[in-house]
A and B are shown apart, each in its own frame.
Chain A
Amino acid sequence: MKGFWWKIAGVLLFLYVLIGGMIIPIKSGITSVTPNNAKSGEQLTFNVVGYNTNFLSATKVRAWLKLDSIHAISATEIEKISENDAKFAFSIPSNFPTKEAVQPLTLIVDTDIDGVFVQPNAIFVTLSDSAVISSEAWMSSAIGQFSEVKGIKFPYRNILNETIRNTFFHIALWFAMFILLIAGVYHAVRFLNTGDMVHDIKSAAFNKIGIMYGVFGLITGSIWAKFTWDTFWTSDVKLNMTAIAMLIYLAYLVLRGSSSDHDRRAKLSASYSIFAFVALIPLVFIIPRMTDSLHPGNGGNPALGGDDLDNTLRLFFYPSIIALALLGTWMSQLLIRYEKLKEKILLKNQ
């Protein structure tokens, strides 16, 4: 047990992430509301298409249109068509509490099976000229007493849908890659200080597995982009800078493969890997943050904060980083042992 408990921990954690991350359902949400515009003082029926909803099985379905934190109206009639389709009728008051030409309304739905879910800016209401500022019709229906749902569910995001699970793999792969590359640089520095070949072997192994993780990170990111942005690659800063970073590290592999003299190769590749890591920091951390980008974490887009990473996601995201880092260390360890054995055979044959 002693000495390999962390390998078992890594495998178990990764299995937990894989199974949990794939099996746990996504919360209910609303994919579309038609029509999405209306006039004040109108009687309107909206077709609502839900995602992962149970309109038919639910005994109690309630819906509101919310203007702001105190102003809302409730649905006059609710017709269930199927589990994922329903018709909500609203009578939109002719008077609004604020006087702006177009008012966005948020649709809130609450059922006893799925709990509460929200579609922001679901309907845009155009005010008629005769509208008077009055909040009378908006105060009667209080939103509240939401049904509680049991069990863990991942949050529903409109464009992400099921791909939100990729958080556990794509983002965690980058984190684990950085842990491995830092280990690689640490051993490169140790090698330059001590001249001990063991550190050279270790540095190379960590860097190689780090590069492999980087390639996996690019692939998973690319697939994710296909589903959310509808393209495998965009001319986005973060994507391009990462591609450059990978090119720099691929050049490292070329450098390692080019020389047959072990001592010289060790010295050169250690120096180059430190230089490359130093060049990597502005590339991945600073430049992308200065420019606008589609990718989360840039240009004001939230990344690992706010609503995007809620507690249910955290439950799998952090273990995933630890698991991938442990598995990466294990793979590096295998590479290190292989390289050491190769050295040993080389020495024996001489």
Chain B
Amino acid sequence: MNIIKIKDIFIKELSIEFRQKFALGGIFLFATTVVFIVYKSFNNINPREWTILIWIIMLFAGLNAIVKSFLQEKKETYLYYYTLFDPIDLIVAKLLYNFMFLCVLFLIILGVMFVFTGFPVKDYGLFFTGSGLGIFGISIVFTFVSVISSADSGSSTMMSILALPLVLPIVLLLLKITTVSVRLLVDTTIMDDVKMLIGVDFVLLGAMLLLFPGLWRS
């Protein structure tokens, strides 16, 4: 692992993102529109619905955002990267970038939700640690699946078929943590769920780091 190279790839991703402003704007427009549709159809959202909606919107907006992480570049570009970087550096940089992107996306969705429907969270510490860990897990799964689907057919359909079942356990844990942080549910053992989330993150991260170099070679 080479920190400088990771930083280089990270900055490269960021500059590509800002050069293609339409893609960036499209994702945020998507998030805002969905929140608005949800707000208009529910009119009055209670905390229970709020916890569920925020993660469903996050999941689909995130899926749209990460699909392109490996699909946007050409085969030749990858061949070029292959000569330049260690696969671990590349995947770590991509993962960190996706994680940051999803976090920003999450904050924007939260902001839009805040304007339209309010912010029922009571336990801020639990909510943001839980969300951060969950988004990290989601970005691991999405990044890995985006590698597989780009190597397979290059279609985004494959991505959603493979990614959604894999993130379900993370989303279920997240839903529980969010429900507790909104105080709909009192659970003294909620730290067990947070630890569980950390465990799942590490296991998935380990599996990805082990498997990516092999996939990359093709």
Contact = CB atoms under 8 A, between A and B. Distances in A.
Contacts of B207: 274-275, 278-279
Specify the main secondary structure of chain B where it touches its partner. Answer: helix
Nearest to A193: B214
Contacts of B162: 251, 254-255, 272
Contact of A267 (B165, B172, B206, B215): B215
Given A248-B165, A287-B196, A258 B153 contact: yes
Given A251-B161, A282-B200, A275 B214 contact: no
A342 to B, nearest CB: 21
B152 A258 contact: yes
A22 interface: no
B203 A278 contact: yes
Interface in A243-281: 244, 247-248, 250-251, 254-255, 258-259, 263-265, 267-268, 271-272, 274-276, 278-279, 281
A4 B173 CA distance: 47
Nearest to B148: A268
A287 B169 contact: yes
Contacts of B151: 264, 267-268
Q: What DSSP secondary structure best describes chain A's contact surface?
A: helix
A290 interface: yes
A267 B217 CA distance: 10
Interface residues of A, number: 30
Given A251-B162, A264-B218, A290-B192, A244 B148 contact: no
Contacts of B203: 278-279, 281-282
Interface of B: 144, 148, 151-153, 158, 161-162, 165-166, 168-169, 172-173, 189, 192-193, 196, 199-200, 203-204, 206-208, 211, 214-215, 218
6 closest A-B pairs by beta carbon, nearest first, are: A247-B165, A248-B165, A278-B207, A271-B211, A244-B168, A251-B162
5 contacts: A255-B161, A258-B152, A258-B153, A267-B218, A278-B203
Given A254-B162, A268-B148, 19 more contacts: A192-B214, A247-B165, A248-B165, A248-B166, A251-B161, A251-B165, A254-B158, A258-B152, A258-B158, A259-B152, A265-B152, A268-B152, A274-B211, A275-B204, A276-B166, A279-B166, A286-B196, A287-B172, A290-B192
